[in-house]
Structure formats: C-alpha cells, structure tokens
Amino acid sequence: MKHALLIYSGGMDSTTMLHEFRQEIALAVNFSYGANHNAQEARCAREQCAALGIELIEIDLAFMGRYFNSALLSGADAIPTGEYDADNMAATVVPFRNGIMLSIAAGLAESRNLDTVMIANHSGDHHIYPDCRPEFISAIQEAISAGSGGKVRLSAPYTSLNKTEIARHGLRLGVDYSRTYSCYKGTDTPCGECATCREREEALREAALSIWGK
C-alpha cells in the first residue's frame, strides 16, 4: 500500500528517491518559489512522474520570489560560479525553504491520509544550508509529529549520504540523470560552470568510476 508523499524537485537527489521508493510513494509534490531553475526542474518532475505513474501536484509559492531575500531568487547573473562550498554558496540560501516545503507537505499528507513525508536532503549540503542538517531534520520531525497529532512522520533517508553515494545508488537503479535538472542558472542547456553544475558532474563522474571503473 502506497503511504508516502515525496517533496520532489526534479533534481538528482529527489529523482533517485522517487525511483528507490516508487513502491511507497503515492504522491509527489513539486514547489516553485521564484528560483531561476524551478521551471526546468518542474519539467523533469512531470516527465519522471508520468513515466512511473505517480501523481504529481505542483504548488506555486510565488510570494517567496517576491518577499524573500536570496541570490537564487535574483536572476541567473546573481548565481555564484566556482566551488560548491559554504563561502561561495551562502548567498543561495533561501531562508527556511525546507521548513516551508516540509510543513506544506505535512498538511497535504494528513489531508490525503498519507502517513509519511519524504525529503531528499543529503550530507553534501549540511555545511551550506542549515535546513538540510540532521539537527533541523530531527526538530522538524518532532514538530510534524506533534502538529499532526501523530498522524504524519518525516523520513529523510539520505541525510547521511553524500551526492556521490546518491548518484551511485541511482545509477544502479537505472535512473537516467539526463532527465533531471540541477543548474542554478536555469538555462535550457545547463551552464556547466555554476557550483551546482560542477557538484553534479563531479558526483556523477565519481559514481560511474566506482561502479564501472570509468
């Protein structure tokens, strides 16, 4: 019996989770919040969900683009290039983004009688994004459990994995990563230069090397 809701961007990590837990996921939810790459991600999310026969709901949080302060919401030119590290990427924090998506997901799960909300946060983001860290995940899990009267729980099974481990996982499951999107600039063809593109390429290269030696 399918019992879970996945917060699903259409990027590498949540697409891997969609495939790995496809037998449990009844509903995927994609959020647009005014980021450059939201439209490209949503296109991938639609394709993936259609291929797996999983219902997708798209929710527009346009007010975040209007009122929130982040380089990720300020056009492609504001996106830093270079390494995917804390100093370089701090400007791309969207304040409390995961908290907002998880809270809406919790309410939606309860409304649909689904007992689990899933999110694909991972350890490679801990140093940059506070709302990807284990202490945040643990606290919001308590809040979701208390605030839903025990009806909904949070599952974040990639919290301690890094992006290479997720990619290795996905390649073994047969995930076609060319049908996912990561570039923070949001261009039709990923720029290949922003920190997110570089992080993605490195993870895929290392994962392929460890599986096939190439």
Question: Smallest distance, Å, CB 94 to a second copy?
Answer: 7
1 touches a second copy (CB under 8 A): no
- Helix axis angle for 12-20 and 38-52, nearest 10°, is 10
Binding segment toward a second copy, per CB under 8 A, in 42-50, 91-99, 161-169, 193-201: 91-99
Residue closer to a second copy, measured from CB, 123 or 187:
123
85 touches a second copy (CB under 8 A): no
- Total binding residues for a second copy by CB under 8 A? 41
Sort strands 153-155 and 25-32 into parallel, antiparallel or unpaired: unpaired
115 touches a second copy (CB under 8 A): no
110 touches a second copy (CB under 8 A): yes
Residue closer to a second copy, measured from CB, 32 or 164:
32
User: Minimal CA–CA distance to 92: which of 183, 181, 191?
Assistant: 183
User: Minimal CA–CA distance to 84: which of 129, 140, 42, 20?
Assistant: 129
The DSSP result for 148-170, as a single string, is: TTTS-EEE-TTTT--HHHHHHHH
The torsion region of residue 34 among left (phi > 0), alpha (psi -120 to 50) and beta comes to left
Identified binder of a second copy from the candidate list 74, 96, 187, 208, rule CB under 8 A: 96
Q: What string marks each residue from 58 to 77 as x (binds a second copy by CB under 8 A) or -? A: -xx--xx--xxxx-------
At a CB cut-off of 8 Å and minimum separation 6, what does 107 contact? none
Identified binder of a second copy from the candidate list 1, 23, 77, 111, rule CB under 8 A: 111
How is residue 19 written in tokens? 């495939």
118 touches a second copy (CB under 8 A): no
Q: What string marks each residue from 155 to 194 as x (binds a second copy by CB under 8 A) or -? A: ----------------------------------------
How is residue 142 written in tokens? 């308590």
How is residue 95 written in tokens? 């304040």
Q: Give the separation between CA 117 and CA 114, rounded to whole angstroms.
A: 8
**Could you list the residues that contact a second copy (CB under 8 A)?**
57, 59-60, 63-64, 67-70, 94-100, 102-104, 106-108, 110-112, 130-131, 133, 135-136, 139-140, 142-149, 152
